[in-house]
Structure 1
């Protein structure tokens, strides 16, 4: 708490503070206003609109109906006050009761446990809850390496595309065996919110970095992995997803800037981001 007070008093930080609304998380209709340090909002989120890990937290907060303040941070020109708050400089960063949680999966669990409402992200059944966590860990080891290989290296040998394709085939079989539309069942939960942000970005990623992946997604995948597309369709009907989702074109625009070495990390040129403390 002492560090937080120091950061705020030193820089007289301006905040992107708002009550959640259907368009807010995409970077639209945000206004710079001074932070209310006595605000009744229980939690602060430091994130970036293009970061899939940040979207995990925004989905969870909205699903749990938590009123929160949000601060969009540029992930290249990181402001000093943010690095003091989280020396790792990573998003998402949750702040609650003077403490920091700089990890998306741990943050999702914390939100589910800390804020009560009728909706649970993790199952109340211990075994099912364990299986949900195991699935997310497997996603991290089986899918994410291929995703980031395509993003960072452009996938010259096609191994990133092959890894993504094989995972989606596995995912399709997983849903088929469970005979359910989502990993959590009929309603999105912890594992669904953990994996959806990366699926949302696949077409945009492929458009810029992998022609093979793009052709497969557009021409063949609907027959090969139909349950994957049903999963996407079901998720897109979820209000938290609708409030945080971006289009494939918006993701492609960001990835083009990333490829050129000047990543925007914003939805468009008017999206307000923190790059330095206000003067």
Structure 2
């Protein structure tokens, strides 16, 4: 099912350039947008930069109880219009690397596990039912081409991204089993979970800081934002369980 009507979307990891771009694009497309970050002043500033009507919320997404409280807050704000959450664009990220396998540190792994895996697990578990109930439920995360082609120096990062991808594809399977894939009384596929795959992300500030750099293979955050908006106008059957490459094809 594709839809043109306004939706209620939560953008997690909303303080960074990709979160600001996604929130701005979704709001301009007419959707109600909640943008989430762990630092109050930063997420308020990011919401203001994204534009009028974007609502900033503070939450430690690595804390399951806090995510449940976030869900309650969002639902309470939507209750006045009888709405519920239709989409979650999960943009929590971070990178840590090393020289090779032997110097992959526990501290780096804990940072990556918390940011890439734990936050995603918490958000999907808490918001899953709302997305499954929506007639256009959408969940998206951003992964890296490194997950499929890991290097020794990026072992921890690639492993964390691969785990996050696997979890997201399991969410997609859940959506399928509960809708079009249901053995008894199957319904039209309404909900979809997707993985956006990029080599890396670039934004206007990065380009301005390094005007002589070409950023080969990088995906601009504005293109990521456009892809997030496009989720709500594409049929769930065309999206669910897909790994969508944003940018040039990686060389093999």
What is the TM-score when the length of structure 1 is the normalising length? 0.31
Higher CA-based Rg? 1
By percentage of residues, which structure has more strand? 2
Of structures 1 and 2, the one scoring higher in RCO (CA 8 A, sep 6+) is 1
What is the TM-score when the length of structure 2 is the normalising length? 0.33
